[in-house]
């Protein structure tokens, strides 16, 4: 029997706000979280802009020793998960923690630690490499650290599918609860890759925007788009079986009603040019939700601001929704947050929840030049007041990973 899955808690730390409410206010006020890189000296790089988490001090959240033993990606995961835990009202008294899982993903995870320790090895020798190097850098440790911190003893996993990672985490959490394995799962993603080697790697593959004006850097679906802007942060949603949530009197934000995932099987970085893989993911989510495409009111697009992504996602939406693709409102909030890589899907799912709650469709900010090839109903620059009953969030990752999740207002 399929059990219904709802969202009962939210947590976030992002370039436009260090908690969910502050982040949503950033969306409402059309805040752009992109600015000059400060996490390292970017002199000599073609890339000068990123979307960093602002006003963040680890010691506001952790003791000195704990902060020193946590990569920035794990710190962000803990900050967001603690907020989601508090928001959900879950306690060991009202929830069996052995049936409470943790699915927190990352595209790269401990890149900061990897860079630091490789430099130590090169400069000072292998005997000076920290014994904490491995437990700080491996991709499962954000989930592991959150499980330890909150006492979550159910299934714990980290799905790594590049920029689709946290949408996969949400989708797999939804399926796991739906079929009865767990009652509650903390699902989402975290990323902290604004580092020399991270920027260099994406820059040299010509994926990043070289714009120097922050309002013309991350411009999804704009004809002048030239690449994405690296972001960082974490988003965590508490997914819960509906009757379990009702029994403990939880507030319910929305219901997860569908999930679809596919592979392009085409190229290590480029999406399939006709968007067929992403379209199949959307179709699978729609079939899983047992709805018609015309029932979708809003799509938060992956919309990275690269030429290929925005074009192929446009084609994919048309293939998946057919005639309904001309009527659904679409935006990309990466103009606000930059691209959080593996954490993007979780942040954007939270934005979808808040959009439904506040009856406000987020705009694609800094949009100026219409691209005739990206001819969907893009919401430009100003939010649109509208009741959203069903929202879709898309995420696409290097390697051809496609994922789509559908949320319904309750």
Active site residues: 163, 302, 339
CB under 8 Å to 93, separation ≥6 — which residues?
none
Q: 110 near 71, Cβ under 8 Å?
A: yes
Could you please report the per-residue DSSP string of 241-275? Answer: EHHHHHHTT----EEEEEEEEEE--S-SSSPPTT-
Q: Say if residues 319 and 164 touch (Cβ distance below 8 Å).
A: no
Note whether 397 and 161 are within 8 A (CB).
yes
CB 404 within 8 A of CB 282: yes
CA distances from 52 to 33, 126, 136, 137, 250 (A): 7, 31, 21, 20, 33
């Amino acid at each position: 029997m399929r059990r219904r899955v709802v969202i009962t808690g939210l947590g976030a730390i992002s370039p436009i706000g260090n908690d969910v409410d502050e982040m949503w206010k950033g969306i409402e006020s059309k805040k752009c979280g992109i600015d000059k890189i400060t996490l390292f000296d970017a002199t000599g790089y073609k890339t000068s802009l990123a979307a960093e988490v602002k006003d963040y001090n680890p010691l506001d959240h952790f003791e000195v020793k704990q902060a020193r033993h946590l990569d920035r990606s794990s710190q962000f995961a803990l900050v967001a998960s603690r907020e989601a835990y508090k928001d959900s009202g879950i306690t060991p008294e009202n929830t069996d923690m052995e049936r409470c899982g943790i699915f927190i993903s990352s595209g790269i995870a401990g890149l900061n630690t990897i860079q630091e320790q490789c430099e130590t090895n090169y400069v000072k020798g292998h005997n000076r490499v920290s014994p904490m190097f491995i437990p700080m850098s491996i991709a499962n440790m954000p989930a592991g650290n959150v499980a330890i911190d909150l006492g979550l003893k159910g299934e714990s996993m980290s799905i790594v599918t590049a920029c689709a990672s946290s949408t996969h985490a949400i989708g797999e959490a939804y399926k796991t609860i739906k079929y009865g394995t767990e009652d509650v799962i903390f699902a989402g993603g975290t990323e902290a890759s604004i580092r020399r080697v991270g920027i260099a790697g994406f820059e040299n593959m010509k994926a990043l925007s070289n714009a120097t004006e922050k309002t013309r850097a991350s411009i999804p679906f704009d004809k002048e788009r030239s690449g994405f802007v690296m972001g960082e942060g974490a988003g965590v949603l508490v997914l819960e079986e509906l009757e379990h949530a009702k029994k403990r009197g939880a507030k319910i934000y929305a219901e997860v009603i569908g999930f679809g995932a596919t592979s392009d099987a085409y190229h290590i970085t480029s999406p399939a040019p006709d968007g067929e893989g992403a379209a199949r993911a959307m179709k699978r989510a729609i079939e899983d939700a047992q709805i018609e495409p015309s029932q979708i009111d809003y799509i938060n697009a992956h919309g990275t601001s690269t030429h290929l992504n925005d074009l192929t996602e446009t084609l994919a939406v048309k293939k998946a929704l057919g005639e309904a693709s001309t009527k659904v409102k679409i935006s990309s909030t990466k103009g606000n947050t930059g691209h959080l890589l593996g954490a993007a899907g979780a942040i954007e799912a939270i934005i979808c929840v808040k959009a439904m709650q506040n009856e406000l469709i987020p705009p694609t900010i800094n949009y100026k030049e219409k691209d005739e090839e990206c001819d969907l109903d893009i919401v430009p620059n100003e939010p649109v007041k509208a009741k959203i009953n069903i929202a879709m969030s898309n995420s696409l990752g290097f390697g051809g990973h496609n994922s789509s999740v559908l949320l319904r207002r309750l």
